[in-house]
Copies of this chain bind each other. A is one copy, B any other.
Amino acid sequence: MSQREKDPRVPGDDLTLGDLGEADILRSVLARFRTGPGEAPGVLVGPGDDTALLGTSGAVLATTDTVVRDRDWRDEWSTGHDVGTKVVVQNLADIAAMGGVGTGLLVTLVAPAGTSVRWVEDLTEGIAEAAAAERVPVLGGDLSSTYGPVMVSVTALGELPGSGPVLRSGARPGQVLAVHGSLGWSMAGLELLRRGWEPGTGEDAGVRFVTYHRRPAPDLAAGPAAAAAGATAMIDVSDGLVRDAGRVAAASGVRIVLDEEAIRKRADAIAGILDDDVALDCVLRGGEEHGMLATFSPGVVDALPGWSAVGHVEDGEGVSYRGERLSGGGWDHFGG
């Protein structure tokens, strides 16, 4: 597809970015991201100047994550709104996993001129809604063209409300590994979509998983709450329980042992819809979940709402389950 050619996925009466031009696109996007007076008191300078200026409380958390069409999402399964939700949530989950709360986002869109304006508006709406749900203002961004796939890159800034940062390196033998929220729902939803799942086809119990895959909805307040309760290490589940627990194990120089009964219980919640072995794989290796995974001193987890133990920390290395060391599997962008 050449740069000016209309994307075949764009319906006949839809405008493309090339029909509008940069100035009009920016005007319409900036309008959606503009916050009202008093809505974002930390924003000293918002979108439209050389940079934004954000008030901080002495230190700023910063992270960035990018999604690429046909690599990180498929248009058959995800709308622009879904993509916008997901890219915001995955960035803010990284902030939460340090024990922080988001304070601002920068959004970059790189897209071919043949991209549907309606799709971009839908994306923008998803970004704006997900940001507003976490009370995080969009501070600015960039717009650029490409002859390749649409790409959305977000940078999230945040701050520590009191405790933290909680690093990956603080887990110690004798501590408890716990998770907040779901495990494997996003991968279960993806698996259902791969199998041609559609609403109303007698598998309505799958709706929750497909919905979670499209618009992950972790409770990000769990991150700062865990920090305040003394979490010793934390990460969000973005590449699967085994792989992300493995990162904590490697950074902390410990072994993490997953609890068979806790994992089995998680898998059972999915197994009504998918085969037992697939359900177990979702729980152990499913990514894009974005709930919090943290270690605590014994006894802390029981008093923390929404958290449940899924393992413990020992001397050694790696992640083990039923006496075997597991490899994370998961996605390598370059397949090497």
B-contacting residues of A (Cβ < 8 Å)?
3-4, 17-25, 44-45, 48-56, 58-68, 70-72, 94-95, 97-98, 100, 104, 106, 108, 110, 113, 139-149, 151, 153, 155-158, 160, 165, 167-169, 234-236, 251, 332-336
Query: Chain copies in the assembly?
Result: 2
Set of chain B residues within 8 Å of A110, measured between Cβ atoms: 66, 68, 151, 153
Q: Is the CB of B153 within 8 A of A66?
A: yes
A158 to B95, CA, bound (A): 19
Q: Is the CB of B52 within 8 A of A235?
A: no
Q: Is the CB of A155 within 8 A of B336?
A: no
Contact of A98 among B51, B106, B168, B335 (CB under 8 A): B51
Given contacts A45-B167, A142-B65, contact A17 B336 (CB under 8 A): yes
Set of chain B residues within 8 Å of A72, measured between Cβ atoms: 144
Q: Is the CB of A106 within 8 A of B51?
A: no
Contact of A334 among B21, B95, B98 (CB under 8 A): B21
Given contacts A45-B165, A56-B56, contact A336 B19 (CB under 8 A): yes
Q: Is the CB of B66 within 8 A of A108?
A: yes
Q: Is the CB of B335 within 8 A of A21?
A: yes
Q: What are 5 sample pairs from A and B whose C-beta atoms fall under 8 A apart? A: A45-B165, A49-B251, A55-B59, A144-B333, A153-B153
Contact of A113 among B20, B21, B160, B335 (CB under 8 A): B335
Q: 4 tightest A-B contacts by CB?
A: A148-B148, A21-B336, A51-B63, A145-B333
Set of chain B residues within 8 Å of A334, measured between Cβ atoms: 17-18, 20-22, 25, 113, 145
Known A18-B336, A66-B142, A71-B147; 14 more pairs at CB < 8 Å: A25-B336, A51-B97, A51-B156, A52-B61, A53-B62, A54-B59, A58-B58, A66-B108, A66-B110, A68-B110, A68-B145, A113-B336, A148-B148, A153-B153
